[in-house]
Amino acid sequence: MFKKWGLVAIVSLVFVGLSGCTGMPDNVEPVKGFELPRYLGKWYEIARFDHSFEEGLSEVTATYSMRSDGGVKVINRGFSMEEKTWDEAEGKAYFVESETTGHLKVSFFGPFYASYVIMELDKEGYQYALITGPDKDYLWILARTPSISDDVRMGLLEKATAAGYDVSKLIWVEHDQTGS
Protein backbone atom coordinates (compact mmCIF):
# COMPACT_ATOMS: atom_id res chain seq x y z
CA MET A 1 0.00 0.00 0.00
CA PHE A 2 2.73 2.40 0.93
CA LYS A 3 4.85 2.00 -2.20
CA LYS A 4 3.55 4.67 -4.57
CA TRP A 5 2.50 7.26 -1.98
CA GLY A 6 5.32 6.44 0.39
CA LEU A 7 8.58 6.28 -1.49
CA VAL A 8 7.82 8.96 -4.04
CA ALA A 9 6.16 11.23 -1.48
CA ILE A 10 9.17 10.87 0.77
CA VAL A 11 11.59 11.78 -2.01
CA SER A 12 9.36 14.65 -3.17
CA LEU A 13 8.77 16.01 0.30
CA VAL A 14 12.44 15.73 1.24
CA PHE A 15 13.23 17.94 -1.72
CA VAL A 16 10.37 20.31 -0.95
CA GLY A 17 11.20 20.29 2.76
CA LEU A 18 14.84 21.07 2.21
CA SER A 19 13.81 24.18 0.37
CA GLY A 20 11.62 25.29 3.30
CA CYS A 21 8.41 25.61 1.34
CA THR A 22 5.81 26.87 3.76
CA GLY A 23 5.33 30.08 1.82
CA MET A 24 2.61 30.91 -0.69
CA PRO A 25 2.56 31.46 -4.43
CA ASP A 26 2.20 34.99 -5.80
CA ASN A 27 -1.39 36.24 -6.11
CA VAL A 28 -2.66 33.71 -3.57
CA GLU A 29 -4.20 34.53 -0.20
CA PRO A 30 -5.37 31.90 2.27
CA VAL A 31 -8.99 32.06 3.35
CA LYS A 32 -9.70 33.96 6.56
CA GLY A 33 -12.33 32.96 9.08
CA PHE A 34 -11.31 29.30 8.68
CA GLU A 35 -12.92 26.83 11.10
CA LEU A 36 -10.90 23.62 11.42
CA PRO A 37 -13.66 21.54 13.10
CA ARG A 38 -15.88 22.12 10.04
CA TYR A 39 -13.03 21.15 7.67
CA LEU A 40 -12.29 17.81 9.36
CA GLY A 41 -13.60 14.62 7.79
CA LYS A 42 -13.46 13.09 4.34
CA TRP A 43 -12.85 15.05 1.14
CA TYR A 44 -12.83 13.71 -2.43
CA GLU A 45 -10.14 14.85 -4.82
CA ILE A 46 -12.04 16.24 -7.81
CA ALA A 47 -9.03 17.48 -9.79
CA ARG A 48 -5.29 17.87 -9.37
CA PHE A 49 -2.11 18.85 -11.11
CA ASP A 50 -0.12 15.76 -12.05
CA HIS A 51 2.58 14.67 -9.60
CA SER A 52 4.47 11.41 -9.34
CA PHE A 53 3.18 10.73 -5.83
CA GLU A 54 -0.39 10.47 -7.19
CA GLU A 55 0.37 9.12 -10.66
CA GLY A 56 -2.23 6.67 -11.92
CA LEU A 57 -4.44 6.94 -8.86
CA SER A 58 -8.23 7.25 -8.96
CA GLU A 59 -10.74 7.27 -6.11
CA VAL A 60 -8.44 9.69 -4.26
CA THR A 61 -9.62 10.98 -0.90
CA ALA A 62 -8.12 12.97 1.94
CA THR A 63 -9.39 12.46 5.46
CA TYR A 64 -8.55 14.97 8.19
CA SER A 65 -8.89 14.36 11.93
CA MET A 66 -7.41 15.81 15.10
CA ARG A 67 -4.11 14.60 16.53
CA SER A 68 -3.48 14.42 20.26
CA ASP A 69 -0.83 17.16 19.93
CA GLY A 70 -3.35 19.64 18.48
CA GLY A 71 -2.27 19.09 14.88
CA VAL A 72 -4.23 17.49 12.08
CA LYS A 73 -3.87 13.86 11.03
CA VAL A 74 -3.97 13.52 7.23
CA ILE A 75 -4.77 10.24 5.47
CA ASN A 76 -4.47 10.36 1.68
CA ARG A 77 -5.82 7.30 -0.10
CA GLY A 78 -6.11 6.33 -3.76
CA PHE A 79 -6.71 3.29 -5.95
CA SER A 80 -4.25 2.11 -8.60
CA MET A 81 -6.25 0.49 -11.41
CA GLU A 82 -3.02 -0.83 -12.91
CA GLU A 83 -1.94 -2.60 -9.72
CA LYS A 84 -5.49 -3.21 -8.43
CA THR A 85 -4.41 -2.00 -4.98
CA TRP A 86 -5.14 0.86 -2.61
CA ASP A 87 -2.25 3.17 -1.72
CA GLU A 88 -2.32 5.19 1.47
CA ALA A 89 -0.10 7.77 3.11
CA GLU A 90 -0.41 9.28 6.58
CA GLY A 91 0.80 12.77 7.33
CA LYS A 92 0.41 15.56 9.82
CA ALA A 93 -0.40 19.23 9.47
CA TYR A 94 -0.12 22.34 11.65
CA PHE A 95 -1.19 25.95 11.21
CA VAL A 96 1.46 28.31 9.86
CA GLU A 97 -0.34 31.44 11.04
CA SER A 98 -3.46 31.69 13.18
CA GLU A 99 -6.03 28.91 13.47
CA THR A 100 -8.51 31.07 11.57
CA THR A 101 -6.27 31.36 8.50
CA GLY A 102 -6.38 28.51 5.96
CA HIS A 103 -2.60 28.13 5.72
CA LEU A 104 -1.11 24.94 7.10
CA LYS A 105 2.16 23.11 6.74
CA VAL A 106 1.90 19.39 6.01
CA SER A 107 4.44 16.60 6.31
CA PHE A 108 4.40 12.99 5.21
CA PHE A 109 8.01 12.45 6.26
CA GLY A 110 9.82 13.57 9.39
CA PRO A 111 10.56 17.23 9.89
CA PHE A 112 10.01 18.21 6.25
CA TYR A 113 6.95 20.37 5.61
CA ALA A 114 5.28 21.94 2.59
CA SER A 115 2.52 24.52 2.38
CA TYR A 116 -1.14 23.59 2.24
CA VAL A 117 -2.97 26.79 1.34
CA ILE A 118 -6.75 26.88 1.18
CA MET A 119 -7.26 29.64 -1.37
CA GLU A 120 -11.03 29.20 -1.81
CA LEU A 121 -13.57 27.54 0.45
CA ASP A 122 -17.32 27.16 0.63
CA LYS A 123 -17.52 28.93 3.99
CA GLU A 124 -21.26 28.36 4.30
CA GLY A 125 -21.29 24.57 4.03
CA TYR A 126 -17.62 23.53 3.78
CA GLN A 127 -18.54 21.47 0.71
CA TYR A 128 -15.67 22.38 -1.66
CA ALA A 129 -12.19 23.87 -1.52
CA LEU A 130 -9.39 25.00 -3.80
CA ILE A 131 -5.94 24.11 -2.45
CA THR A 132 -2.43 25.03 -3.53
CA GLY A 133 1.04 24.23 -2.28
CA PRO A 134 4.15 26.37 -1.94
CA ASP A 135 4.15 27.30 -5.62
CA LYS A 136 1.97 27.14 -8.72
CA ASP A 137 3.02 23.57 -9.51
CA TYR A 138 0.43 22.35 -7.02
CA LEU A 139 -3.34 22.67 -7.28
CA TRP A 140 -6.23 20.55 -6.03
CA ILE A 141 -10.00 20.83 -6.08
CA LEU A 142 -11.58 18.97 -3.16
CA ALA A 143 -15.22 18.34 -2.32
CA ARG A 144 -17.30 16.44 0.21
CA THR A 145 -18.86 14.44 -2.61
CA PRO A 146 -17.24 12.66 -5.59
CA SER A 147 -18.49 15.34 -8.00
CA ILE A 148 -19.32 19.05 -8.04
CA SER A 149 -21.80 21.14 -9.97
CA ASP A 150 -20.78 22.91 -13.16
CA ASP A 151 -21.29 26.28 -11.44
CA VAL A 152 -18.94 25.40 -8.59
CA ARG A 153 -16.40 23.95 -11.05
CA MET A 154 -16.45 27.11 -13.17
CA GLY A 155 -16.10 29.35 -10.11
CA LEU A 156 -13.08 27.43 -8.82
CA LEU A 157 -11.46 27.36 -12.25
CA GLU A 158 -11.97 31.12 -12.60
CA LYS A 159 -10.42 31.72 -9.17
CA ALA A 160 -7.40 29.56 -10.04
CA THR A 161 -6.98 31.17 -13.46
CA ALA A 162 -7.15 34.67 -11.95
CA ALA A 163 -4.37 33.68 -9.54
CA GLY A 164 -2.17 32.58 -12.46
CA TYR A 165 -2.69 28.80 -12.58
CA ASP A 166 -2.83 26.93 -15.90
CA VAL A 167 -6.04 25.01 -15.27
CA SER A 168 -5.68 23.14 -18.57
CA LYS A 169 -3.13 20.98 -16.71
CA LEU A 170 -5.72 19.66 -14.25
CA ILE A 171 -6.38 15.93 -14.14
CA TRP A 172 -10.04 15.17 -13.34
CA VAL A 173 -10.10 12.30 -10.88
CA GLU A 174 -12.32 9.28 -11.51
CA HIS A 175 -14.44 7.97 -8.66
CA ASP A 176 -16.59 4.86 -8.33
CA GLN A 177 -14.38 2.85 -10.68
CA THR A 178 -13.47 0.13 -8.17
CA GLY A 179 -16.96 -0.89 -7.19
CA SER A 180 -16.28 -0.12 -3.55
pLDDT of residue 109: 84
Taking the C-alpha atoms of residue 117 and residue 29, their distance in angstroms, rounded to an integer, is 8
pLDDT of residue 179: 47
Is-contact 22 13, C-beta < 8 A?
A: no
- Could you read off the pLDDT tens digit of each residue along the chain, which spans 180 residues? 444 444 344 434 444 444 457 789 999 999 999 999 999 999 999 999 998 878 889 999 999 999 999 999 999 999 998 899 999 999 999 999 899 999 999 999 888 899 999 999 999 999 999 999 999 999 999 999 999 999 999 999 999 999 999 999 999 999 986 544
Which of 30, 36, 41, 28 lies closest to 101 in space, CA to CA? 30
Taking the C-alpha atoms of residue 101 and residue 28, their distance in angstroms, rounded to an integer, is 13
Taking the C-alpha atoms of residue 75 and residue 65, their distance in angstroms, rounded to an integer, is 9
How many other CB atoms are there within 10 angstroms of residue 179's CB atom?
4
Kindly report the CA angle at 69 between 66 and 74, in degrees rounded to 5? 40
Total-model pTM? 0.86
